[in-house]
Amino acid sequence: MRMRSGGKGLFSAGRSGGMKTAAGSGEVTVDRRSKLGLCVLCGLPAAGKSTFARALALRLRQERDWAVGVLSYDDMLPPALPDGAGTQPRPSQWKMFRQELLKHLECFLVAVIGGGQMSAPPNSTEAVWEDFITCLKKQDLIFSAALEAQPCHLLAKTVVSRPLFLVLDDNFYYQSMRYEVYQLARKYSLGFCQLFLDCPLETCLLRNGQRPQPLPNETIHLMERKIEKPNPEKNSWEHNSLMIQSTACPVEASLEVTDLLLTALENPIKCVEDNTEQKETDRIICSTNILHKADETLRRTISQTMKEAKDEQIPLNNLKRLAEELNRLKADFLEDLRQGNRKYLCFQQTTDLSDVISSFCDERDTVVQKYFSKQH
C-alpha cells in the first residue's frame, strides 16, 4: 500500500558549503554538496525491521554508493517496560532516554552539516552516549581521536562526500514519536521519509517466541492495539511514507523504497525560521485550551480502560483499586501540564495534546498490566 505523493508540496533546497573532516590521521577539506536524510522505520516488535534495515543499508551502499547508518533503538536504549524485579526504567524515564538519543543524533547532524568534531553534549547519560558512539563506529561513520588532549570523534570522509541516509529502527508506535524526528529534519532542512513494515500479529508473536529474550505476548498484543500507522491524509508531514507488506515481492519493495528515499533526498523539508515571540504567543494560546481538552480526553481514556478491564472479568476489588490509580495518574498529569513540571511530561514544551495522551497511555499501560497479569 503506497501512502505518499510524488514530491508535491515539498520544498527543494540545495546543500553546499566547505567542511573539514578527518581522513586517516590528517584533516582534509570536503565540499558538502551531498544530500542528507532521515528515515523512520517503524512497526510491531519482531516484524522484521532490523533485518530489513540491515539489508536496505547494504543494498544502498553497494548499488547507490551512499553512506548509510542504521540506528537501532534496541541497541542504544533500555527496554521500555519494567520487568518483575523493577530494574528497568518506567515509561517516563524511558521517554527521557529517547529524548536524549535524539539530542545525540542532533549532535551528529550538526557535525555533518557544519563540519568539525563530536563530543558528548552536556548532561548526557554516559551509557546511552557510548552506545550511540559505538553504533556509529561499527558502521564506519566516525572514529575516535584526541585533539589537544581532549577525546573527541571525527567524521569519516565518506559521511561528507556521499549522500548520507540515517535509518532509525524502532517501533515508533505513536505518531508523536515520529513527529519528533520530523521536527529534527525540518530544523536542519533534511530529507525525511517513513517506512512502516506491516506484519501480521501472529507472525510477530511466532518470531518473538523464538528470540533469546522474548517480550511478553501481552506487550505485543497491547502495542498492536495502540499502534498509530502513518496517516498522510490526516497528517501532511507524513505524506512521504510507504507501507511495506511483509509478504511483498523483494524486488518490487526494493524499487519502491529506493524511489521513496531518492524523493526525500531531492526534496528536503524547508527549514522554519525561529520566531521566538510568535512561538511564545502560540504556546500560551495552546496551554489555555489544552488543559480542558486533556481532562476530557483522559476521562474518556480511563472510561474505555475500565470497560476493557470489566470485560476481562477482573475482580471488583481490583477494579476499584485500578480506577483509583488511574484517576490519581490523571490528576498528576494535569498538574504537570498546569505547572510545567517534568514528572511525566518530559518534552521541552508540551503543548500537543497527542503528546500528553501518548505519555498518559504509556503510564496507564504499566498500571493496567499489573491487574491483567493477575488474571493469567
What is the β-pairing status of strands 164-169 and 67-72? Answer: parallel
Residues 6+ apart with CB under 8 A from 367: 322, 325, 326, 329
Task: Identify the pLDDT of residue 92.
Answer: 66
pLDDT classification of 86: cutoffs 50, 70, 90: very low
**Which has the higher per-residue pLDDT, 276 or 313?**
313
Residue 344 cell numbers, joined: 511525566
Give dist(CA 22, CA 20) in Å, integer.
Answer: 7
Tell me the residue type at 20. Answer: K
Q: At what angle do helices 126-138 and 91-114 cross, to 10 degrees?
A: 50
pTM over 0.75? The answer is: no
Q: What pLDDT, in 10s, does the model give residues 142-165? A: 988 766 556 688 888 888 889 999
Res. 187: pLDDT tops 70: yes
Task: Identify the pLDDT of residue 88.
Answer: 52
Task: Identify the pLDDT of residue 207.
Answer: 94
SS3 assignment, position 308 = helix
Of 332, 331, 325, 293, the C-alpha closest to 306 is 325
Task: Identify the pLDDT of residue 249.
Answer: 56
pLDDT classification of 20: cutoffs 50, 70, 90: very low
Q: Is 376 exposed, middle or buried (0-12, 13-18, 19+ CB in 10 A)?
A: exposed
Q: 351 near 289, Cβ under 8 Å?
A: no
Residues 6+ apart with CB under 8 A from 231: 175, 238
Domains delineated in the chain: 2-266 (3.40.50.300), 276-373 (no CATH)
Q: What pLDDT, in 10s, does the model give residues 217-249? A: 999 998 998 899 999 998 999 999 999 987 665
Q: 223 near 80, Cβ under 8 Å?
A: no
Total residue length of the chain: 376
